[in-house]
Amino acid sequence: MHWSDVIAQRLAERGDEHIIATGITPSGEFHIGHLREILTGDMIARAARKAGLKAELVFVVDNADPLRKVYPFLDDAYHEFIGMQLGSIPAPDEHGKPDWARFEQDGWNYGDHFLLPFLEALKQIGVQPRLIPNLESYQNGFFTNSAKRACDDPEAIREIIERVSSRELPETWFPWQPLNSKGSLDGISVTGYEFPLVYWKDEYGVEGQSDITKGEGKLPWRLDWPAKWGFNKITCEPFGKDHGAAGGSYATGVEIAAFFGHEAPTPLVYEWISLRGQGAMSSSTGNTVGPIEALQLVPPEILRLLIANSKPNKAIEFDTGMGLVNLADEYERLASRDFEAELADDSLSRRQRVQVEDAKVALDLSMVDPEHQAQSTAVSFRHLALLAQTKPTDEALMGSLIDSGTIHASTAALEDRLQRMRSWITSQHFPEEMRISILSHPNVESMNELTQDQRNLVQPLAATLKAVDWTAEGITSAFSNTAKELETPMREMYRTLYAMFMGTVRGPRLAPILVNCERDVILELADACAALIDN
């Protein structure tokens, strides 16, 4: 059973109506790592609906959280906003400076600045959750009941946190963080409490009071999270492994939720997504690939497959090079399979049947529109990458696919994929091992670096290429026959070929590339290389 169906089954035991929550702090640019959380939630919601349950996906925007430091993408002017809530400070402009004009004009704030592009990416990827801005929830008094219970009995909350987390809280700890005289959550001491007011003194010597019912402050994270479960009626929430660790915020949250008078949601702990060779993604350090950037490279179905095809407890290494090629080709293979016919085969073992069923569900969850079935384009990413580099126009590329019998006609899905492929080829993410650069004239330096045995191959090869059918098989036979006649190892032949046609010492398979180039152009280049050797 696919992991999403397992969670749906657990939810069915809990009731018929469910709210699946995801929550992210908009402290910086959203990245592919954030997609794991929200796509996991979306896939749980889809599985729950498939199981006959009523399910809604919500996205809690944690814009009541403070700015913790001046990140590398921010101007030093943001030092004055450290400790202030993200939904109450100005967004950065294109230079990283506070955009006061827009903030004062229409309230465009820091949280909005990073949230809106992410929402656009989610729309493209088939996820449109109900938004719950957390700062507004505080200001509208939704946290009042939980905050009152905590402030009325802070020792009970302290006991839960210290016992479950095995860490000691400071003597001055209080279950409400007031805003100080400058609007910051930092550098403040609680001096008293009488509902609805928490009295405080800040680091500047200013004294004041914080009204819980108006959200003039916030609950610490370990209380904020379980409080949200209650008034938002959350029944399921996926979250990262840090929150799910022993003594972590979910463990304390379960007991604090019971203290507040409601049940904790059904959990699903997921592993991180990291960038290959760069470690875990982080908005604060700028080690990210944003969803909009990723969607310029591949269709949304392929990003969805990244999550659907991985068990939540399995770490994902996101590779924008060959890893993305392999993922895209896996999508094509899945889309071309007849799952109904496979499942009708009575000879399948139980293990084989489970594998087929999981693959089918993963493909279904990859669709942007759950009502649509996946359709194969019949063109692998590898082949499309090759054609996009050797055919300068879309018309020529589609014509080549039609002439070869690969497709009967161009489709909207294939055209969309081609546009993303062309963006990918021109980006920094395209793998060098797939990059093609056929020379227009001989590279003298590369030719001069050939050994005498390699140079002896050039003229016979140029002659043999003129006599073969211009197919991948015909070109390959020209390579092997020439090497055989001259009793030369194939490694010497390929070293010569790359020098002749690409000016390199190695590269991708040449025959499929050359067959998609103009024959006369390639033959002229081969003759020019032979003439250069003669001289």
Mean pLDDT lowest for which of 93-102, 439-448, 505-514? 505-514
What is the arithmetic mean of pLDDT over 158-179?
97
Q: 386 and 522 share a domain?
A: no
Q: What percent of the chain has pLDDT over 70?
A: 98
Task: For residue 77, tell me if it sits in a domain.
Answer: no
Exposed / middle / buried, residue 371 (Cβ in 10 Å: 0-12, 13-18, 19+)? exposed
Residue-level pLDDT at 263 = 97
Is the per-residue pLDDT at 282 higher than 90? no
pLDDT at 224 over 60: yes
Q: In terms of domains, do 469 and 506 share one?
A: yes
The answer to whether residue 315 sits within a structural domain is yes
pLDDT of residue 320: 82
Arithmetic mean of pLDDT, 256-267? 98
Same domain for 528 and 458?
A: yes
> Residue 261: left (phi > 0), alpha (psi -120 to 50), or beta?
left
Question: What is the rounded average pLDDT of the residues 440-444?
Answer: 93
Q: Is 67 domain-assigned?
A: no
Q: DSSP string spanning 141-203? A: TTTHHHHHHHHH-HHHHHHHHHHHH--PPPTT--S-EE--TTSBSSSEEEEEEETTEEEEEET
- Separation in Å, CA 120 to CA 57, 123, 370, 388, 439: 16, 5, 19, 27, 41
Give the total number of structural domains in the chain.
2
Residues 6+ apart with CB under 8 A from 61: 23, 24, 26, 111, 115, 131, 132, 133, 134
The mean pLDDT value for 71-81 works out to 96
- Yes or no: say if 62 and 134 are a contact pair by the CB < 8 Å rule: yes
- Mean pLDDT of all residues in 438-449: 93
* 298 and 359 fall within a common domain: yes
Q: Which of 432, 460, 489 is the last residue of a domain?
A: 432
Looking at the structure, do residues 384 and 470 belong to the same domain, yes or no?
no
pLDDT (average), residues 327-333: 93
| Residue 287 confidence (pLDDT) | 54
Q: Averaged over 192-220, what is the pLDDT?
A: 97
User: In which band, very low, low, confident or very high, does the pLDDT at 256 lie, cut at 50, 70 and 90?
Assistant: very high
Q: Which of 403, 432, 461 is the last residue of a domain?
A: 432
Please answer whether residues 67 and 82 qualify as being in contact, where contact means their C-beta atoms are separated by less than 8 angstroms.
yes
Is it the case that residue 290 has pLDDT exceeding 60? yes
The answer to the question of residue 233 being in a domain is no
The lowest-confidence range among 82-96, 329-343, 505-519 is 505-519
Per-residue pLDDT for 288 more than 80?
Answer: no
pLDDT for residue 502 is more than 80: yes
For 504, the domain range is 444-534
Q: Is 437 a member of any domain?
A: no
* Whether residue 363 is found in the same domain as residue 452: no
Is residue 228 one of the residues assigned to a domain? no
Q: Which amino acid is at 425?
A: I
Task: Kindly state whether residues 349 and 448 are assigned to the same domain.
Answer: no
Is the Cβ–Cβ distance between 303 and 295 less than 8 Å? yes
* 404 and 353 belong to one structural domain: yes
Given pLDDT bands bounded at 50, 70 and 90, which one contains residue 321?
confident
pLDDT at residue 198 tops 70: yes
Q: How many CB atoms lie within 10 A of CB 213?
A: 17
413 and 525 fall within a common domain: no
CATH number for 506: 1.10.10.350
Binned at pLDDT 50, 70 and 90, residue 273 comes out as confident
380 and 456 in one domain? no
Residue at 359 is within a domain: yes
* Predicted pLDDT at 410: 93
User: Which of these three, 412, 432, 452, is where a domain ends?
Assistant: 432
- Looking at the fold, whether 323 and 384 belong to one and the same domain comes out as yes
pLDDT at 509 over 70: yes
The answer to whether residue 174 sits within a structural domain is: no
DSSP state of 282: B
Sort 534 into a burial class: Cβ within 10 Å, 0-12 / 13-18 / 19+: exposed
Task: Verify that 331 and 359 share a domain, yes or no.
Answer: yes
